[in-house]
């Protein structure tokens, strides 16, 4: 608990309406988009970097655990305050500070909603490329923390590829500026280090993002298949011919029926799977690529390939994809989203394994994912009121992620490790690598008060003992 005296110190920084500490209010901040919960002791809403710095110094003085929060749309438990303490919510730091077309960048506060950047610059012929499915709600600060991706990362990369500069507050309250509008600055790539550090090293208070020119031509296709296997074979076929669309999204039959019933996007209810493929670029190049893509789809068993004839049709197809999680909520109010990655050539095998896991644990699993880069998103539907169903769901998720590792992939592609997958990190990294990560975190966050219990196994905390293997020497922190 935070003492009343400290609460008053915090309130003096943010004002009487900038702090929440009643239990009924804190309940709203005990969760994100994952399945675990834990409340903070207090939530504060700063309006400036100076206020963030002052709040952080108070937390340091009183040794309070500290967690930063954006919109709470994350899917790995990244903003769940495991040890309570102080939560700094950036909802009021939501201004676009500068749009610089000459240098093709924008400077924004962390609480700016992802899509709002594109809305602000599209009149000038630009857009912000990273487009998570939650882009209408998720904020840039959270995107930076988790290194968020989205459907179009196949061609344009994830958040780290679009961050030019950062202003951050360290756990001791000091303010540091990293990078800037200039490209290829000398020194260490601290932008790359902090982007994706999941709030364990610093609190982001300002971001300079790269703007991209809107493409001259866009074509969106819906390829329809009888089986997920045929759709997966198409992805491998496109890869083998060195065809790289802007996006390749796959929905299996279970998912596309939920999506169509909710959004009426034009997906066929009787299909086994569909691929949503988007091409962007110069008009002539897009038309040539369109012919190639249609040919590969048909070679791999597509029963039909539809090309959106208007912007309205294109928008409807993407609305179905972007609103997919909401569509699942109509069928099952509780579900568990996974985020494993496999080589594109292993998508078909992985889908077969996922379906076998669903049968093994008597669960319904739907699939919607970024097929172009093998980023799988199996969605496990469950009823938390049925005894042991949540436990079966967690076991199913762990089996899927372990399979992804064994297939040559990884435990996360864009959702982050958070508290959901940190105990799986030893499956991917040797003890020496994990110890190096711990030492690196402590350079910025020496007493691990900032977002504790995330990314690394919980046995790697200060003076805690890690389980030993035969012949391994005991290590203490």
Quote the pLDDT of residue 333.
86
Average pLDDT value for the chain: 94
Percent of the chain with pLDDT over 70: 96
User: How far apart, in Å, are the Cα atoms of 406 and each of 234, 346, 348, 372, 456?
Assistant: 23, 11, 15, 20, 20
Quote the pLDDT of residue 461.
47
Give 460's pLDDT tier (boundaries 50, 70, 90): low
Quote the pLDDT of residue 458.
86
* d(C-alpha 367, C-alpha 354), whole Å: 9
Q: What is the pLDDT of residues 382-438, one digit of tens each?
A: 998 998 999 999 999 999 999 999 999 999 999 999 999 999 999 999 999 999 999
Q: What is the pLDDT of residues 78-131, one digit of tens each?
A: 999 999 999 999 999 999 999 999 999 999 999 999 999 999 999 999 999 999
Give 325's pLDDT tier (boundaries 50, 70, 90): confident
SS (H, E, C) 372-396: HHCECCEEEECCCCCCCHHHHHHHH
Quote the pLDDT of residue 101.
97
Q: What is the pLDDT of residues 221-273, one digit of tens each?
A: 999 999 999 999 999 999 999 999 999 999 999 999 999 999 999 999 999 99
pLDDT at 459 over 90: no
Q: What is the pLDDT of residues 136-182, one digit of tens each?
A: 999 999 999 999 999 999 999 999 999 999 999 999 999 999 999 98
Residues 8-25: what's their mean pLDDT?
97
- What the chain holds in terms of domains, given with CATH numbers, is 4-89 (3.30.43.10), 96-213 (3.30.465.10), 217-325 (3.30.70.2190), 332-406 (3.30.70), 429-477 (no CATH)
Quote the pLDDT of residue 465.
31
pLDDT at 476 over 80: no
Lowest mean pLDDT among 187-191, 288-292, 317-321, 457-461: 457-461
Give 215's pLDDT tier (boundaries 50, 70, 90): very high
Residues 358-374: what's their mean pLDDT?
96
**Nearby residues of 205 by Cβ (< 8 Å), 6 or more positions away:** 49, 52, 93, 109, 110, 167, 168, 169, 175
Give 466's pLDDT tier (boundaries 50, 70, 90): very low
pTM of the full structure = 0.93
> Which DSSP category does 451 fall into?
S
Give 472's pLDDT tier (boundaries 50, 70, 90): very low
pLDDT at 462 over 50: no
pLDDT at 474 over 80: no
Give 59's pLDDT tier (boundaries 50, 70, 90): very high
* d(C-alpha 145, C-alpha 78), whole Å: 9
- What three-state secondary structure class fits 349? helix
* Tokens 């568990």 found at: 336
**Nearby residues of 161 by Cβ (< 8 Å), 6 or more positions away:** 210
* d(C-alpha 417, C-alpha 146), whole Å: 9
Quote the pLDDT of residue 185.
82
């Amino acid at each position: 608990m935070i003492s009343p005296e400290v609460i008053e110190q915090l309130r003096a920084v943010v004002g009487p309406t900038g702090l929440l500490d009643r239990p009924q209010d804190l309940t709203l901040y005990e969760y994100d988009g994952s399945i675990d919960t834990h409340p903070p002791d207090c939530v504060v809403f700063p309006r400036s970097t100076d206020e963030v710095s002052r709040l952080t110094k108070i937390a340091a003085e009183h040794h309070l655990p500290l967690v930063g929060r954006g919109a709470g749309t994350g899917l790995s438990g990244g903003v769940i305050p495991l040890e309570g303490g102080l939560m700094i919510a950036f909802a009021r730091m939501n201004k676009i500070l500068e749009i610089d077309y000459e240098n093709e960048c924008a400077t924004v506060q962390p609480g700016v909603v992802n899509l709002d950047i594109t809305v602000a610059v599209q009149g000038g012929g630009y857009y912000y490329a990273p487009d998570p499915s939650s882009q209408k709600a998720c904020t840039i600060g959270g995107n930076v923390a988790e290194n968020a991706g989205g459907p179009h990362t196949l061609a344009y990369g994830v958040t780290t590829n679009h961050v030019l500069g950062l202003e951050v507050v360290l756990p001791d309250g000091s303010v540091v500026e990293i990078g800037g509008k200039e490209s290829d600055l000398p020194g260490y790539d601290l932008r790359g280090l902090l982007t994706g550090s999941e709030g364990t090293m610093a609190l982001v208070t300002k971001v300079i993002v790269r703007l991209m020119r809107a493409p001259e031509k866009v074509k969106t296709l819906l390829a329809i298949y009888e089986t997920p296997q045929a759709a997966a074979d198409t992805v491998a076929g496109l890869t083998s011919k060195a065809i790289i669309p802007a996006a390749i999204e796959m929905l299996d039959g279970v998912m596309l029926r939920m999506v169509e019933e909710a959004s009426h996007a034009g997906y066929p209810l009787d299909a086994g799977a569909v691929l949503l493929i988007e091409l962007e670029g110069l008009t002539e190049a897009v038309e040539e690529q369109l012919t190639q893509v249609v040919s590969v789809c048909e070679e791999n068993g597509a029963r039909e390939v539809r090309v959106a004839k208007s912007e309205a049709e294109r928008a409807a197809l993407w609305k179905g994809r972007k609103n997919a999680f909401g569509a699942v909520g109509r069928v099952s109010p509780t579900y568990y989203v996974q985020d494993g990655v496999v080589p594109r050539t292993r998508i078909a095998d992985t889908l077969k394994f996922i379906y076998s896991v669903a049968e093994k644990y008597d669960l319904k699993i739907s699939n919607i994912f970024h097929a172009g880069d093998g980023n799988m998103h199996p969605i496990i539907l469950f009823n938390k009121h049925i005894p042991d169903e949540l436990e079966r769901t967690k076991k199913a998720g762990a089996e899927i992620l372990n399979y992804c590792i064994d297939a040559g992939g990884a435990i996360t592609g864009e959702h982050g490790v958070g508290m959901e997958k940190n105990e799986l990190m030893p499956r991917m990294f040797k003890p020496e690598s994990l110890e190096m990560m711990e030492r690196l975190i402590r350079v910025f966050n020496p007493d691990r008060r900032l977002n504790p219990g995330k990314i690394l196994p919980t046995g790697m905390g200060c003076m805690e003992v890690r389980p030993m293997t035969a012949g391994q020497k005991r290590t203490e922190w």
